[in-house]
Amino acid sequence: MTAPSRPAASGPHPARYPGAPAGEPTVDTWQDAPHNAWAFAHLGELLPTAPIARRHPAAPESATVRLDALASALPDLEQRLEETHTSAFLVLRGDDVLAEYYRPGFAPDDLHLIMSVSKSLCGLVVGGLVDEGAIDPARPITDYVPELAGSVYDGPSVRHALDMTIAVDYSEDYVDPAAEVQTHDRSAGWRTRRAGDPADTYAFLTTLRGDGSTGTFQYCSADTDVLAWIVERVTGLRYSEALSARLWSRLGADRDATITVDPAGFGYANGGISCTARDLARVGRVVLDGGRGPGGRVVSAEWIDAIMRGGDPAAMAGQPFPGGFARGSYTRQWWCTGNERGNVSGIGIHGQNLWLDPVTDAVIVKLSTWPEPDTDRWHELQTRVLLDVCGALDDLR
């Protein structure tokens, strides 16, 4: 395969738009010509913004509950949703919404942060580019992003990043201020910057080191941002634009999604997307429908089949699978349970889940606000709810 065309490397601090000097415009220069031609249309990448929604129903004072279809099999479902700090819960089978729940103060039209479920969306975008030959998973990452030469990503392939089988000196301990994941957050604008922090996500990724080994699963949020950088390089688009062109515009979505951007305008691919529960369910529908959405094909049926088959459980090497599945694996940015139902999911901290049940052709979305980001107890409670809902759906077939 010939090397794909890509924009020229521009160093770790790319310009915000084609033709701009590196690092420009800033908060001090965005109103100046010629920068204002770009900045006036992309102000949310420079300054904090708040949405003014096109539709804004009054937030309900009590929970919005429509669980009748599951009530006979799961009479305590609403209580369990409350106990697991659920903001939104939705069951979609085919095109039919069978059940919904929204906590008090949260409405069906509201956006909710999906945290690392964002990674699974990135996997679909990358898959579409692999299908077209723009990305070769077997090629080294640095063939696409030479700025990563000398980092831990100098040597591993795109496939290694997709399956998170790169040994990186990166702690994913969300509550440890010294962990690399918190430095990552600060570089992306999610936490207050400290002296010496990289200027943006691109720069942060170039600092990561490791022993260079591959083949053993290590959950690492940085891998997803590397994939998003590759997406930018082969498409010539911002990651947020690529998400729109290659996924969101093909879903038949009710609302625009959002993604947080760092000081360089790079979308936080590993965890920064917010959307409605209904639109997230549409992403799951694309997967169960073999990669096609109402607006066209997102990814090939072959890519979807590979996700649903799961990855190599041996690569997990005894590492815990969220919720506990002995045959669990991770592939193409999706968690694959390996259970008898073939459940596959996108999972995010604080209780975000996009759960696929091929047995009943159902998508279950659960968006939550757990008080801790990532504990065995919360995962076990949540997984039991999801499996029990699948069991109730068996009775409705």
Helices 117-131 and 301-309, axial angle in degrees (round to 10): 140
The catalytic position among 87, 116, 240, 274 is 116
Burial of 335 (0-12, 13-18, 19+ CB in 10 A): buried
Cis peptide, bond prior to residue 34, ω within 30 of zero: yes
Inter-residue contact 375 to 320 (CB < 8 Å): no
Inter-residue contact 60 to 107 (CB < 8 Å): yes
Q: What is the DSSP string of 333-385?
A: TEEE--STT--EEEEETTTEEEEEETTTTEEEEEEE--SSSS-HHHHHHHHHH
**Whether 116 is catalytic:** yes
How far apart are the C-alpha atoms of 307 and 106, rounded to whole Å?
32
> What is the phi/psi pair of residue 304, to 5°?
-65, -45
3-state secondary structure (DSSP) of residue 248: helix
Q: How far apart are the first and last CA of the chain?
A: 46
| Structural tokens at position 69 | 């279809």
Are 374 and 367 contacting, i.e. CB atoms less than 8 angstroms apart?
A: no
Residue 373: CB atoms within 10 A of its CB come to: 15
Alpha-carbon distance of 53 to 381, in angstroms, equals 34
Catalytic residue annotation: 116
